[in-house]
Chain A
Amino acid sequence: MDAILLQTLNGLDKGSAYALIALGLTLIFGTLGVVNFAHGALFMLGAFCAVTVSKLLTLSFETVDPTRVDFLGNPLKVKTAYVESWFGPEFGGALIDWAVPLSILFAIPVMIGIGYVVERGLIKHFYKRPHADQILVTFGLAIVLQEVVKYFFGANPIPTPAPDAFKGSFDFGALIGMEANAIIYPYWRMVYFFFAAVIIGAVFAFLQFTTFGMVVRAGMADRETVGLLGINIDKKFTIMFGIAAAVAGLAGAMYAPINSPNYHMGMDFLVLSFVVVVVGGMGSLPGAVLAGFMLGILESFASMNAIKSLLPGIDQIIIYVVAIIILLTRPRGLMGRKGVMED
Chain B
Amino acid sequence: MLGLEKKDVTLLAVVALLAFAAPFILNPFPEGSEMAQFNAGYPDLMQRFVIFGIFAIGYNILFGLTGYLSFGHAAFLGVGSYSAVWMFKLLSMNVIPAIILSIIVAGLFSLVIGFVSLRRSGIYFSILTLAFAQMSFNLAYSVLTPITNGETGLQLTLNDPRILGASTGADGSIPVTSLFGIEMRSTYEMHAGAWLFQFNAGYYVCAIILVAAFYLAMRIFRSPFGLMLRAVKTNQTRLNYTGLNARPYTLAAFVISGMYAGLAGGLMASMDPLAGADRMQWTASGEVVLMTILGGTGTLLGPVLGAGFIKYFENIFSKINDNVLHGWFAALPDGLEDTLVFIVHPFVGKGWNMTLGLMFMAVVIFLPGGLMEGGQRLAKLFRKKDKPSGDDSEHHPKQAPHVAE
Contacts and interface: CB of A to CB of B under 8 A. Distances in A.
Interface stretch (A43-51, A56-64, A143-151, A237-245): A143-151
Contacts of A343: 120-122, 124
A137 B132 CA distance: 22
19 contacts: A125-B365, A136-B69, A137-B364, A137-B365, A139-B289, A141-B361, A143-B286, A147-B351, A271-B130, A274-B127, A316-B139, A316-B141, A316-B143, A320-B134, A327-B119, A327-B128, A341-B122, A341-B123, A343-B124
Interface string A268-291: 000100110010000000000000
B138 A317 contact: yes
Contacts of B359: 140
A136 B360 contact: yes
B135 A327 contact: no
B39 interface: no
A131 B123 contact: yes
A131 B126 CA distance: 10
B142 to A, nearest CB: 5
Contacts of A35: 123
A135 interface: yes
Contact of B354 (A144, A275, A317, A324): A144
A72 B123 CA distance: 64
A135 B285 CA distance: 13
Contacts of B124: 278, 327, 331, 341, 343
Interface in B86-131: 116, 119-124, 126-128, 130-131
B135 A143 contact: no
B134 A313 contact: no
Contacts of A144: 354, 357-358, 361
Contacts of B286: 139, 143
A121 B122 CA distance: 25
A323 interface: yes
Contact of A271 (B121, B134, B346, B368): B134
A320 B122 CA distance: 18
A274 B227 CA distance: 33
A133 interface: yes
Nearest to B360: A140
A317 B364 contact: no
Contacts of A278: 124, 127
Contacts of B131: 271, 275, 320, 323-324
Query: Which of A140, A144, A274, A313 has the most B CB atoms < 10 Å from its CB?
Result: A140
Given A135-B123, A313-B139, A331-B120, 11 more contacts: A136-B360, A142-B357, A143-B357, A144-B358, A151-B351, A271-B134, A320-B134, A324-B128, A327-B120, A331-B124, A341-B123
B184 interface: no
Nearest to A278: B127
A175 B131 CA distance: 39
B138 A275 contact: no
A151 B134 CA distance: 26
Given A148-B354, A313-B143, A324-B128, A140 B361 contact: yes
A316 B360 contact: no
A341 B128 CA distance: 14
B284 interface: no
A312 interface: yes
B282 interface: yes
Nearest to A314: B143
- Per CB-CB distance, the 3 closest pairs between chain A and chain B, nearest first, are A313-B143, A143-B357, A140-B360
Contacts of A143: 283, 286, 353-354, 356-357, 360
Nearest to A319: B131
A267 B282 CA distance: 9
A328 interface: yes
A132 interface: yes
Contacts of A331: 120, 124
A133 B138 contact: no
A148 B345 CA distance: 12
A314 B124 CA distance: 23
A141 B362 CA distance: 10
B365 A135 contact: no
A232 B293 CA distance: 35
Given A144-B358, A151-B351, A327-B128, A320 B135 contact: yes
A271 B282 CA distance: 9
A278 B131 CA distance: 11
Given A320-B132, A328-B119, A341-B122, A140 B357 contact: yes
Query: Which of A132, A323, A324, A331 has the most B CB atoms < 10 Å from its CB?
Result: A132
A326 to B, nearest CB: 11
Contacts of B282: 267, 271
Contacts of B122: 131, 341, 343
A136 B288 CA distance: 12
Interface string A304-343: 0000000011001100110110011001000000000101
Contacts of B69: 132, 135-136
Contacts of A151: 346, 351, 354
A197 to B, nearest CB: 27
B59 to A, nearest CB: 13
Contacts of B353: 143, 146-147
Interface in B234-279: none
Contacts of B308: none
A275 B142 contact: no
Contacts of B135: 316-317, 320-321
Given A135-B69, A275-B131, A312 B360 contact: no
A278 B142 CA distance: 25
Nearest to B368: A133
A122 B357 CA distance: 14
